[in-house]
Structure 1
């Protein structure tokens, strides 16, 4: 089921990408088409309005000359009923209103409609009348017409929606054709490669079901399959090498336990986990007493053996899967005890001290009964309370270690 979901997902992504590109192109083309249509609509509005005014010019001039209100009203009514008109006013040559019509409307608040049509709303036509043959035209009045901006806006929106609808339909059709073509020629072969990779056994990568690319044998997809074949054949070797390098990078070479780098990473992870869960976290620092004198007297080979014996003892006592024992540096070791409070960590430290006694490794320069001993410092914290951090916890454990040394060594010191 997971593979089928991946296939549908890849196909869907390819289809969505194709659709997005087609829609983007349609939007760009639609924006250009809308700009051209807006320019065309402006020209049409101006031309139609001027033409209507020219048609009634003679009748309006005659009404003004005769001071005929009925004829004036007919002219005004004719213009007003033509649509897109907000007001029509006919005045005589003295500026007196002979007839007028107004329509109440709410001006659109959008800036686009005002920007497109705000400068072509108002028209004034001077009315000239010639009384007889051979006489000159004399001004008889004025005809004023104002277009309704809201009507122009609605008409523009209707035209825009039609243009965009057609653009979207075309984009969907193009996207569908492109999606089908891409799926047949690119996506489906890629899904075949994906299915073959998923079914490959990392333990036997050379037997993966290498897909036949057919028409893609000599193009980038065919080269990809060949490269994958080489990669999978070397995959197991690479994993093994990676595991070896990881082990080397996180393990102390002398004692075989975790090194300082592994300790730092582990403490960070456990601090975050303890912070989330509200659990305590404890640390034990251990330092072998008078180890320099031991090395000087018995030699470095014996010193190395002692360090290994110390590491084995620590891992035997601190044996929970969630704990970590690491060599901190030189003759110093550290134990990280998740989900352990101060009292529990103190008990573990006491067991470690006793286990070191039980080793009974001779130490001629020891101040404690002639055998190897160790001093231990214990500290604990609740990360969730926000009153300390990792550095503070380590500093407290280190401080307790040195307190144990100053109090005579071969002992455990902990927070009070």
Structure 2
């Protein structure tokens, strides 16, 4: 991947060039929404697959864990591996590789191969997720001028939430026909970015600042840590939703009382970012982090279902605005040639937050896990408050 391809803004696909040039951006949105289908539908699809093959669902959790850990391990090496290629080309290669790995899972499941092989293949498929996100985000700089990036990222965040709401439902419905068929459908949908992502040839760098230096500078690390803490806060609600329902004396199926409000609030936050189309000020970001922290505190209090749902809504509403700010900040702070690496790190930081929440919910009680994640949010909010703007 060359500098020409990775550091551009407002190229031939820019929003500012007229309605005919918006088509590449629409293709990018579709690529962004479908890239995450395997991760969004995976927990349900893999669990149904494991249930059919082994009689238990814990194999599905093992596949998701393997996929997530491999994503963290592969993010930077795979991003650097493609640095001499255009971003769109490298993304297509990564998606094709993932599709082959997921297709291998489908074949192995159909022939009832030993389940450890499915776990291994899930890790192979997941290894490209972080790098693929980094390259996809890099392509966006070639399609939208800096002034339109907040709106584009807000739309992408909204579509991403829709994917994470609809994909598990689709996987569940198709899984009633056949878990293997459901996984095949997920594999095909996840392959779409290889066909949809636009390849923009012209590139300009006027709209973005030129940054030099390390991809792990203190300023970059700050936003990565914030992303990890936010990922943990969201994951605590989503992963712990069943435990929360049981904690308040409700049936496990009523876990949706926590996940649906969180997702709806997140969609609302994404729409707000899109309409506003402006990068948040430092004070606004601090206020948003404070809102997420208050939401985490409300959940950790374990007082009532109403208070916990309200906390989930607060967390969800600021999720998209904060994610947009992190992405725009890293865009400005990253060395131009290494933006895909930094964006891959952003996805990795979020994954580490999810892993942290999963681990806490596994080894500790629900109240202890929620308090620990609340402490994370308080810490990063204070860190942003006391550091100088970058």
What TM-score, normalized by structure 2, do the two folds share? 0.26
For CA contacts below 8 A with separation 6 or more, give which structure has more relative contact order: 2
| Structure having the higher Rg | 1
Greater fraction of residues in helix: 2
